[in-house]
Amino acid sequence: MSSQIISILLLTFVIHLIMTLAYSVRIVGTRTGRIVIAFSLFNILALVTRTASSIQAPLLAKYVEGQIGASVTAAVSDFRWILLTTTLATAVGIFLMPTFQRSFSKAVMAFNVYRSVPSLLLHGFSKTGIYHLRTSIAIPSTENLGSWRSVKRFPIHIIILNTVVEAVLIVGAFAALYAGVLNPDLRLTAVSLAPIITGFATVMLFVLIDPYMSMLTDDVLHGKTSHLFFRKGVILLVGTRLAGTILAQLLLVPAAYLIVAAAEFI
């Protein structure tokens, strides 16, 4: 495995680890009653994701250029390693969620005191901040993983949709790049088709899934829904993200050939 692929794997891990932890922001927001501040502070971590993505994109493009005329089998193997990394990052993110929720909750409440991101960051590296981080370390509780009867009220179509949407969002760009390996003459056309695929999934996310979760968040704040149901619903969605990374493995090759066919058609 080349150093280029290893760099891509590391960047992929960071991106999807943060994307998994993003599910915790709603829980922290309802727990602290500071939803807007929670999302605002998380945008700092989102900047890390965007920076990693901006570095990953040219590395992937250069990788595809280097695979022209090379073994297609080796290329698909590398892409499967990348997708496997998304699964590993999601699993690690799920394991870190209790620790992240506790530490991020303290950061949100501390922001009410410092009212400045630079001051908050300095506090985080202080002796007190490090102590708070150490006391926030926790592992997933078996109590939270049990008693799932309350989640039966969670809409099944949201569960299925989120699994499919996450799979398409994850595999879209990789399938387009792999399509460029399958048909190098149309690699630019194939890559330009990726936003159409991921764009459709994004529409589904913002039209069908996100509004429901936003409504559920408001219901928790107004006492119409229990925190237990909301928290387990979010954990359930994180599980569908993990399932989506696995589904992405199955979609990689068919999606790549579909993109090739679309590129040849237009």
What is the tens place of the pLDDT at every residue in 229-258?
A: 888 888 889 999 999 999 999 999 999 999
Q: Based on DSSP, count helices (H) and strands (E) in the chain, helices before strands.
A: 11, 0
DSSP string for residues in 212-262:
HHHHHHHHHHTTSS-HHHHHHHHHHHHHHHHHHHHHHHHHHHHHHHHHHHH
186 versus 147: the higher-pLDDT residue is: 186
Asked if the model's pLDDT at residue 151 lies above 70, the reply is no
Summarize pLDDT for 29-42 with one digit per residue, the tens. Answer: 888 888 888 888 88
Instruction: For residues 89-105, give the mean pLDDT.
Output: 91
pLDDT of residue 90: 95
Domain boundaries, the chain: 3-265
Asked if the model's pLDDT at residue 148 lies above 80, the reply is no
Inter-CA distances, 117 with 40, 42, 50, 114, Å: 10, 11, 19, 8
Mean pLDDT of the residues in the chain: 85
Q: Could you give the CA distance from residue 248 to residue 250 in angstroms, rounded to a whole number?
A: 5
| Distance between start and end Cα atoms, the chain | 35
Question: Nearest 5°: CA angle at 182, between 185 and 63?
Answer: 85
75 versus 252: the higher-pLDDT residue is: 252
153: exposed, middle or buried (Cβ count in 10 Å: 0-12, 13-18, 19+): exposed
Asked if the model's pLDDT at residue 145 lies above 70, the reply is no
Instruction: For residues 117-132, give the mean pLDDT.
Output: 75
Question: Residue 60 region, left (φ>0) first, then alpha (ψ -120 to 50), else beta?
Answer: alpha
Percent share of the chain, pLDDT over 90: 24
Percent share of the chain, pLDDT over 70: 92
The amino acid at 8: I
pLDDT of residue 168: 93
The amino acid at 190: A
Instruction: For residues 92-96, give the mean pLDDT.
Output: 92
133 versus 39: the higher-pLDDT residue is: 39
Asked if the model's pLDDT at residue 184 lies above 90, the reply is no
Nearest alpha carbon to residue 111 among 100, 101, 102, 123:
123
Residue 142 — pLDDT band, cuts 50, 70, 90?
Answer: low
Q: Could you give the CA distance from residue 266 to residue 247 in angstroms, rounded to a whole number?
A: 28
Asked if residues 162 and 23 have their Cβ atoms less than 8 Å apart, the reply is no
Q: Poorest-confidence range of 74-83, 121-130, 178-187, 194-203?
A: 121-130
Inter-CA distances, 39 with 4, 141, 157, 239, Å: 33, 25, 26, 21
Rg, Å, the chain Cα set = 20
pLDDT of residue 113: 78
pLDDT of residue 95: 92
pLDDT of residue 137: 79
pLDDT of residue 152: 67
Residue 144 — pLDDT band, cuts 50, 70, 90?
Answer: low
Q: Which two tokens stand for residue 119?
A: 């001051």
